[in-house]
Every structure is written in structure tokens, then in C-alpha cells.
Amino acid sequence: MRCVVWGVMRSFRRDPPDVEGSRDDGSSVGDAARATVFELVSSGGLREGSSRAMTTAIGLVRAVVRAAEAEALPVGALLAAHSIDPAMLSERDARVSTERFLALFDDVAKRSKRSSFGCEVAGKIDAAAFGLLGFVVASCATLDAAWLRFGRYTRLLCDELRFDVVRRGDEVAVVYGLDAEPMVGALFEMALTHMVSTSRRGTAQRFAPRVVRFRHRGDERAVSAAIGAPVEFGALETAVVCDRASLDLPLRGANPALLDVLESHVSLVLRTLAPTDDFVARVRHEIRMVMYFGEPSLKTVATRLAVGDRTLQRRLKDEGLTFRALADQVRFECAKLQLENPDVSLAEVAYSLGFSSPSAFHVAYRRWAGESPGRSRPR
């Protein structure tokens, strides 16, 4: 279950030196494949299999409740139906089950008469909703630094929050995702609306997105008017796309000294949150991330996890796994999910999984499934 406000996946610690352009031949197939795999990494199609109880900051629940109140919806009954104690709304540091938060959001969105309900919720988010994370982001020098910090400290807002800043030539896409049931389209509309509005305020209105994309279907006219930017629904990814130069836009509240103090405090706060470490889940996540750039290798994944090659092999062996078997499993899962979408070509699937050619993908898929990828597609 992943809930999102500013963005979707965990950001790269640093861009690998050989990442940009390593697979980009300028073709639309390559770009579409990249978009597809980043959406799959974060869209909810791939779960880590953890049974841990994940939680979300109460500030996000307050925003949904305020939007519901504005439409005279039965807030008390809705909170009770989703087992959320109303008293928690006034507690600054309270957290609720992410599953309950999403169920509440979905329920309220379905009852709303507004086709841009998610955008309305974005307008109800107060400064306290982000708490310490909000101060950290606001104290950064540039948008790039702010987005990096947001990805680094997402657990302050939601245990499962992830986002990534994807650089594509002269543009940048802040890609969002949600690993949850149900998939709440209004939540994405809230997230992207809030991200655009806060980025504009922080940069003295200099931030101007090229386009805002949503994977789900929605009211293009209403949402575009609410965000103040071109909107596309039914896209391959959910993302805010902007000029690459936007990363260097200075923030009005930049305060390096305060940022140092805040980040020291963040590390202390994060230690108080329930641990969510699952080594195999982390390896699976990194495999999905690196295959965007090509064949996933043990060395590359070990480097991203900050462990040695032998340590990675040993820890997987302790779980009864090998790196190659796990990589094949992840790629097979990704392939099956993408093949369900008739709008994604076999070539796009192949490149998004890190294969050098569609033929190489066909060979691997036959080994995994015992049949060709074409025959696995829904009839």
C-alpha cells in the first residue's frame, strides 16, 4: 500500500554515471518502455509480500475529511465505517493504517459530486500535514534538492511512499505510484495538484510543468483547470513533466543552516517508526529499478544496496534464493503485468525489462512460461 502526496518512488541516491542515454536511441519505443517500467515499479502491480502494518500521517486524513465536510458528506459515519478514531484528527503526530486511509479516500471520492475531487483535497492540505518533512523540503536551496530530500524521508509522511525523478533529455518527469488496493485515482489527482501548486509557490511562480499525466481515466477539463496545466489521462505513467532546467529553480525559503538541524532531527524521528526492512523486498525493488537501464546485474544491485557482491549472494542464499533466479522472477512478473495491457507492444515490454532486443525477451519468456509472450496476452 503506497500513498502519495508529492511523488511516487524512492529517488536515486545519485544518477549512475552511465544511466542517461545508455539505452536511449531516440526512439519512441525506448521512451515508452521507460515510462512503462517506472509505472510498474510503483503502480501497485508488484507487491513486496510483506504483512507489516503500514501507516500514514494523520494530516492526509484531515485533508480528506475537510473536503468531505465541504460537500456535507457524513464524516462521522465515514470515519466509523473505516475504523478511524475522530479524536486522532487533532493529534499532531498520529498515524493511521494506510489501508484504512486509502479505503476512506476511495469511499469519499465515490460519494463526491465533483469530478475533480482529488484536486479539492489538495487544497485542504495544511502546513501541519507534512510536519517536519514540510520544513525540510521548504529549507532546501533548489527544487532538485527538495525532491531528493522528499524521496529520502518519505516515511515521515507514509511508510510506503516512493517517487523518482526521471531525467529524459531536456525534460524531467516526477513519477508517482501507489502500491495499494484499491487504486484511488482521486489520490493521484490530489498528489500532483499539490505538488504543482507548492512548487509554484516555492519558486515564486517560476515552476511551469509541460504536462501532467495520469494513468487512470478522469475529467481532463476539470482537472486541467484545477492544476493550471495541460493534463493527459490514460497515459503510461502518472507524472508531472517539466523542463530539466526546473531542477535548478531556487526556493524562496532556502535556509542551509536550518536544513542541517532539521535533517539531524529527522534521523532521530525515523528511528522511532516501526522497522520496515525486508532485504529480499529491497533486492527485488532494486532489480526493477536497474533493469530500466539494461540487464540487471548482481554487482549493480549490490552497489545500490551498499553491500558487497558476496554479502548479497550470501544473504539471498540464506533465504534459499540466488540472484539470477530472483531477477528472472521479477522480470517475469513485470512481463506478465505489462502483457495484460494491449496498448504496450512486445518491443516496449522487452526494452523495459532490460533486454537488448525483442528476440532475447521472447527466448527468456518461453523459458519462464513455456509459451511465447504473444500467446500469453489476453484474447
Cell numbers standing for residue 201: 509557490
Higher-pLDDT residue of 280, 13? 280
pLDDT at 161: 67
pLDDT at 53: 59
User: How far is residue 148 from each of residues 142, 144, 154, 206, measured CA to CA in Å?
Assistant: 10, 6, 10, 19
Report all structural domains of the chain as residue ranges with CATH numbers, in order of start: 1-275 (no CATH), 279-376 (1.10.10.60)
Q: DSSP labels for 70-127?
A: HTT--HHHHHHHTT--GGGGG-TT-EEEHHHHHHHHHHHHHH-S-TTHHHHHHTT--G
Q: pTM score, two decimals? A: 0.64
Mean pLDDT of the chain: 81
Q: Quickly state the pLDDT bin for 181 (edges 50, 70, 90).
A: low
Higher-pLDDT residue of 56, 37? 56
In tens, the pLDDT along 343-365 reads 778 988 888 888 999 999 999 99
d(CA 299, CA 312): 9
Percent of the chain surpassing pLDDT 70: 82
pLDDT at 377: 85
pLDDT at 277: 53
In tens, the pLDDT along 130-151 reads 888 889 999 999 999 999 888 7
How far out from the chain centre does Cα 348 lie? 21
Say whether pLDDT at 163 is over 60: yes
d(CA 221, CA 335): 34
Q: DSSP labels for 169-229?
A: TTEEEEEE----SS--HHHHHHHHHHHHHHHHHHTTT----SEEE-SS---HHHHHHHHTS
Q: Quickly state the pLDDT bin for 273 (edges 50, 70, 90).
A: low
pLDDT at 98: 85
Say whether pLDDT at 329 is over 80: yes
In tens, the pLDDT along 290-318 reads 886 788 999 989 887 778 899 999 999 98
Q: DSSP labels for 259-283?
A: HHHHHHHHHHHHHHSPP---HHHHH
Instruction: For strands 211-213 and 238-243, give the pairing.
Output: antiparallel
In tens, the pLDDT along 125-134 reads 987 788 888 8
Q: Quickly state the pLDDT bin for 220 (edges 50, 70, 90).
A: very high
In tens, the pLDDT along 200-216 reads 999 999 999 999 999 88
In tens, the pLDDT along 49-77 reads 333 457 888 999 999 999 999 999 999 99
Quick one: angle between helices 98-111 and 185-202, nearest 10? 100
Q: Quickly state the pLDDT bin for 275 (edges 50, 70, 90).
A: low
With contact defined as beta carbons under 8 Å apart, do 322 and 316 qualify? yes
Higher-pLDDT residue of 102, 275? 102
Coil, strand or helix at 3: coil
pLDDT at 30: 43
